[in-house]
């Protein structure tokens, strides 16, 4: 990302903080909560959140659907392959990759992608807005579409709450970030990592920072997620039942002029033989949003970047392009 500011507050943390956001709707607690999430976004860039209102039954249900989907025969999953979507939705096979970066080797995972469900009558679809359109849904397992999309909608609301808290904690209007989500290109991914029983294979996902604003992650009990602190040490982010893990992406680091930290992270190979399941939700603004660092909105020479261009560049690099 051009003009990406240096992290100014990242600390040599030794654990991932846990933040209870149940006070978000309590006026007597909200201001303190907003300050807390901002402090963690600055110093760690990762946090567990609890008290988010999403029950274990809902989280367990979407993981069950994920397991059943990935257990389908390969030919069945490929009926909704990502290349059949004009919006990078559907199934992504093991180690599949894009064609714009020869150095990218693909990740040791399978994925299912979905986003806001828009039918052909929606104004955004009629206007042919990029990354706005229908999802590709499999014919099974039973209940997959209803359960997964309900999870998408509930998690989106959690993301909205977090973006409002982050804005307020910065002393900005509540809708400072969310006003850019009228036509957002947020995305939910169901992931299955294949464990490799080879001690020479250390990682299932390479070290990286996320591209978007915030990521809202639910992970199973396998473990393996690690986060890099200021000293270069890798800190484990083990599973915490009923929690989400939130992390800051490159877009929000840019947007806050480096005040928030988009922190490097990776997934270590446990070599257990059992697959690892995780479900990241990427809270991404409107395709045509043009972002400037806070406080420089009226400065003509301030650095800017286009959210849509950034996302498309990333997608084309790491995923097969549409052939529809």
Encode pLDDT of 41-67 as tens digits: 999 999 999 999 999 999 999 999 999
Cβ atoms of 317 and 104 closer than 8 Å: yes
With cut-offs at 50, 70 and 90, classify the pLDDT of residue 281.
very high
pLDDT at 101: 67
DSSP state letter for 321:
P
Side-by-side strand order, sheet with 234-236: 203-208, 265-268, 225-228, 234-236
* 181 has a pLDDT exceeding 90: yes
Mean per-residue pLDDT, 97-105: 72
pLDDT at 1: 54
Mean per-residue pLDDT, 101-124: 87
Mean per-residue pLDDT, 293-313: 91
Burial of 276-291, coded b for 16+ CB within 10 Å and e otherwise, reads bbbbbbbbbbbbebeb
pLDDT at 194: 83
Angle at 149 (CA atoms; ends 242, 146), nearest 5 degrees: 100
Largest CA distance in the chain: 55
pLDDT at 274: 82
* 89 has a pLDDT exceeding 60: yes
Residue corresponding to tokens 């209102």:
53
Spell out the long-range contacts of 37-42 with Cβ–Cβ below 8 A and sequence spacing 24 or more: 37/162, 37/165, 37/166, 37/169, 38/165, 38/166, 38/169, 38/170, 38/260, 39/169, 41/166, 41/248, 41/252, 41/260, 41/261, 42/8, 42/9, 42/10, 42/259, 42/260, 42/261
* Mean pLDDT value across the chain: 93
Cβ atoms of 270 and 195 closer than 8 Å: yes
pLDDT at 183: 95
Cβ atoms of 206 and 294 closer than 8 Å: no
Report the share of the chain in percent with pLDDT over 70: 97
Lowest mean pLDDT among 77-91, 111-125, 245-259, 295-309: 295-309
pLDDT at 4: 79
Rounded to whole angstroms, how far apart are CA atoms 33 and 50? 12
């Amino acid at each position: 990302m051009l003009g990406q500011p240096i992290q100014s507050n990242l600390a040599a943390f030794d654990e991932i903080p846990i933040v209870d956001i149940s006070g978000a709707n309590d006026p007597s607690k909200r201001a303190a909560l907003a300050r807390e999430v901002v402090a963690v976004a600055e110093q760690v860039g990762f946090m567990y959140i609890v008290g988010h209102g999403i029950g274990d039954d809902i989280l367990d249900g979407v993981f069950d659907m994920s397991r059943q989907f990935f257990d389908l025969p390969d030919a069945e999953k490929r009926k909704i392959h990502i290349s059949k979507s004009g919006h990078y939705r559907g199934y992504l096979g093991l180690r599949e990759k894009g064609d714009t970066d020869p150095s990218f080797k693909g990740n040791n995972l399978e994925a299912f992608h979905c986003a806001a469900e828009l039918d052909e009558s929606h104004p955004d679809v009629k206007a042919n807005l990029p990354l706005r359109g229908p999802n590709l849904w499999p014919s099974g397992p039973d209940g997959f579409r209803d359960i997964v999309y309900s999870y998408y909608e509930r998690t989106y609301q959690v993301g909205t709450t977090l973006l409002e808290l982050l804005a307020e904690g910065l002393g900005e209007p509540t809708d400072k970030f969310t006003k850019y989500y009228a036509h957002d290109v947020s995305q939910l991914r169901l992931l299955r990592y294949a464990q490799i029983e080879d001690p020479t294979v250390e990682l299932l996902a390479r070290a990286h920072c996320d591209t978007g604003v915030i990521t809202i992650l639910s992970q199973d009990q396998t473990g393996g997620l690690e986060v890099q602190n200021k000293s270069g040490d890798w800190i484990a982010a083990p599973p915490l039942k009923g929690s989400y893990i939130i992390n800051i992406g490159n877009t929000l680091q840019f947007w806050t002029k480096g005040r928030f930290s988009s922190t490097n992270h990776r997934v270590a190979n446990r070599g257990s033989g059992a697959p690892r399941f995780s479900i990241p939700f990427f809270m991404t603004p409107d395709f045509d949003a043009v972002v400037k660092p806070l406080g420089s909105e009226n400065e003509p020479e301030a650095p800017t970047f286009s959210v849509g261009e950034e996302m498309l560049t990333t997608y084309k690099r790491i995923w097969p392009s549409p052939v529809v």
